[in-house]
Structure 1
Amino acid sequence: MPSASRLAATLIILASSTAAPAEEAQLRGTIGTQPQYVLISFDNAGNNDLWDRSRALAQRSNAKFTYFLSCVFLIDRKDRKSYQPPSMGAGRSNIGFAASREDIALRLDNIWRARNEGNEIASHACGHFDGKDWSKAQWETELVTYKSVLRDAWARYGHGAEPADWKSFVDGEIRGFRAPYLSESPALIAALKAQDYLYDGSGVSRGPALPQRSGGLYRFGLPTIPEGPKDRPVIAMDYNLFVRHSGGFERKDHLGEFENRAYAAFKGAFERQYDGKRIPFQIGLHFTLMNGDAYWRALERFTQEVCVKPDVRCVTYSDYIRETGGIASAAAHHSQSGI
């Protein structure tokens, strides 16, 4: 979860960010047609209790989620010096490391079970640093380190024999990315393209928007949505609601109010698309409870009500691209561009 000191940067993002200018993806089966897509994601993906809670929600709601996993949660704090972030000393992290080897073993089991249940594991980098000033080479170092940490994690910390296709899963299936603090830069985008990522989910758009495509990389933006008594726009993410509702400080005396406001914002934004153009609607949460669990409860209400509808598809980012023809289009663009 971003710290309260990131509030100013967050508000700048809210005020000025839009989906990145690029060639608009021509995706089949989206605007004005069935079904309505909903893309729900979780950042950091550390806490094992919330892995259990989210997986149970997916199963009872006919939903599939995208987990933007931070790789430091697969490094025991005793082994933290094995992680070397760009331009910093070894063993640094803004979000700590795993509490123990047992904690990692449980998380690996959750990751593997979630993946086998049809959910997606994607990258949230490692130490949750703001890389807006990193070079392409520095970002590539972080991306390569990420895959290396995941590739070795089961052999290093896992319970029982490593799944036969664990390494191929890491190398071939983790093709999505979201930057910590939603901090995009041209260097990051260049690094993602160089490392053959399929999509980036770090953007912010003014309302729900189709992904943009450039050089084979799809770029998604979390939407700003109307919220609260005055329908002021806010990024559809728990941290931004947390700052809006209580200034980034816990206010457990208003949990019902905050939950209801978040639910109403999610549901209202969804219904505008469901009854209109049916542009995919995105929501982002963290594996951190804010204002108690007000935003998780709001998401659970929303997901259980919406994702069971026969003409709604609550899917992962990769599955959304695949189902709407994006992978074929991206492959063709990739071949034509030579990137």
Structure 2
Amino acid sequence: MRDISRRSLLGAGLGGAAAIGMAGCGSRHSSETGRPGPGPGERAGGKAEGEGAGIEDVREIGDGSTADTGEQPNQPSAPVPLEPGQTPPQFVIFSWDGAGEVGTGLFPRFLELAKEHDAAMTFFLSGIYLLPESKKSLYRPPNNRIGASDIGYLTDAHIKETLGHIRSAWLDGHEVGTHFNGHFCAGSGSVAHWTSAQWENEIDQAVSFVTEWRTNTGWTDLDPLPFDYRKELVGGRTPCLLGQNNLLPTARRLGWRYDASSPGGTQIWPTKRQGVWDLPLQGMPFPGHTFEVLSMDYNILANQSRNTTRGMPSRYPEWRTQATQSYLAAFNRAYGSNRAPFYIGNHFEEWNGGIYMDAVEETLKRIAGKPDVRLVSFRQFVDWLDVQDPAVLAKLRTLEVGQSPDGGWNAFFKRA
């Protein structure tokens, strides 16, 4: 097991609206079939595959799709409160909607990048990405026909790849959240119209697809996911950033700690809504324009190629540079002023020649290793928030976008 320096990241050194647009998500492909094992109940089993070769105490859960393997590896040391006058860390959270592998190699590409730079990320897994298309009748989406989905089901080969990468991601220290299931953004079946009870039903189904993939696929020769997903799941992001108001009561009932679904946030310190940390995608500078763009790959695309995922190839180099500069401008604005956390949303997609994946990679490389910078998951970030003095967080929230503390951090907190 790697012993990476991320273990100390949280504990040590704690020293235009219309132009923003709506978040999009990727489309996917189709399917095959497969295999699993054991019956109900928990049993001792083998060790999870991947980097976790050192895991020996594995207690399978339910049908063996998941397992309790103990504490998650590669986690930071326990967070501590800011000391008086201490400069807050600059948190940056890279997150991925859908988190399925479709043969492009993007999932392992960013897992490797994260290893190289001691970064943790959040992967919002779409539950149906672990459900074979041959079993799509098991999915009963609210206000939609049985088996319907506005994103495609994965092939069996891609489900297996996704399982392997999700397994590796958790063992590497990343978070596995949820992007729910069918990604309905339009019409009467849109998630924008779902009730709190319907959100709970959708979440129950997403969890069942993750925790019962062995039963649903029939595959018995793959190792379980090395975590208890019912305990692991503490947050998500809704399709197209819709429906948060009715989701929040359910999220609170389920004990979720945060929600990352709100659109159009700004680079200020977060607050809670209905007892849940509200961590919205944020407006960020968009070079060459007077308006800001939402901090997600699809929204940059929407402003560059008018929602077309295959724009003019001759402009790809220019658009790649613009996307990178946008991310870096937002990072630098917060890093040099109020130190508000910066959230970046992505999809494993090769839109416009893959330029947005290149922009995200270049951004991460440019900011990793800078003093006080913490590349963490949403879960790790709320761990830090939850141990801070509420008065300190309230004081941080008085700083507007790009506003530096008057007289420096020491003077700023003395006036708290």
On whether the aligned pair clears a TM of 0.5, the verdict is yes
Q: TM-score, normalised by structure 2?
A: 0.69
1:80 aligns with 2:141: no
Looking at both structures, which has the greater relative contact order when contacts are Cα pairs under 8 Å and sequence separation is at least 6? 1
Residue number in structure 2 paired with 1:34: 88
Q: Residues 177-256 of structure 1 correspond to what in structure 2 (within 5 A)?
A: 177-249=236-308, 250-251=310-311, 252-256=313-317
Letter in 2 for 1:183: L
CA deviation profile, 1:98-122 (whole Å, cap 9, x unmatched): 112x321221111011011011110
Distance in 2, Cα, partners of 1:135 & 1:211: 25
Picking from 154, 170, 175, the partner of 1:115 is: 170
Residue number in structure 1 paired with 2:378: 317
Q: Which has the larger radius of gyration?
A: 2
Residue number in structure 2 paired with 1:43: 97
Higher relative helix content: 1
Higher relative strand content: 1
Residue number in structure 2 paired with 1:272: 333
Residue number in structure 2 paired with 1:289: 350
Picking from 284, 304, 308, the partner of 2:365 is: 304
Distance in 1, Cα, partners of 2:337 & 2:389: 27
Distance in 1, Cα, partners of 2:178 & 2:22: 25
1:141 aligns with 2:207: no
Picking from 100, 104, 118, the partner of 1:62 is: 118
Distance in 1, Cα, partners of 2:363 & 2:89: 17
Q: 1:232 to 1:93 in 2, by over 3 A?
A: same
Is the CA contact (8 Å cut-off) linking 1:155 and 1:162 kept in structure 2? no
Q: What SS does the corresponding residue of 1:172 show, helix, strand or coil?
A: helix
1:258 aligns with 2:327: no
Distance in 2, Cα, partners of 1:133 & 1:326: 35
Distance in 2, Cα, partners of 1:221 & 1:200: 8
Q: What SS does the corresponding residue of 1:221 show, helix, strand or coil?
A: coil
Q: 1:161 to 1:52 in 2, by over 3 A?
A: closer
Is the CA contact (8 Å cut-off) linking 1:32 and 1:276 kept in structure 2? no
How big is the shift at 1:28?
4.9
Letter in 1 for 2:320: E
Letter in 2 for 1:35: P
Residue number in structure 1 paired with 2:149: 93
Is the CA contact (8 Å cut-off) linking 2:124 and 2:237 kept in structure 1? yes
Distance in 2, Cα, partners of 1:134 & 1:177: 16
How big is the shift at 1:296?
0.8
How big is the shift at 1:209?
2.4
Is the CA contact (8 Å cut-off) linking 1:202 and 1:221 kept in structure 2? yes
Q: How many positions carry a matched residue from both structures?
A: 308
Is the CA contact (8 Å cut-off) linking 1:238 and 1:290 kept in structure 2? no
Residue number in structure 2 paired with 1:125: 180
Where does the alignment leave 5 or more consecutive residues of structure 1 unmatched? 1-10, 18-26, 330-339
Q: 1:88 to 1:327 in 2, by over 3 A?
A: farther
Distance in 1, Cα, partners of 2:248 & 2:19: 17
Letter in 2 for 1:286: H
Letter in 2 for 1:144: D
Q: TM-score, normalised by structure 1?
A: 0.84
Q: What SS does the corresponding residue of 2:136 show, helix, strand or coil?
A: helix
- Give % identity: 28
CA deviation profile, 1:219-258 (whole Å, cap 9, x unmatched): 1111101102124211011111101011112222211111
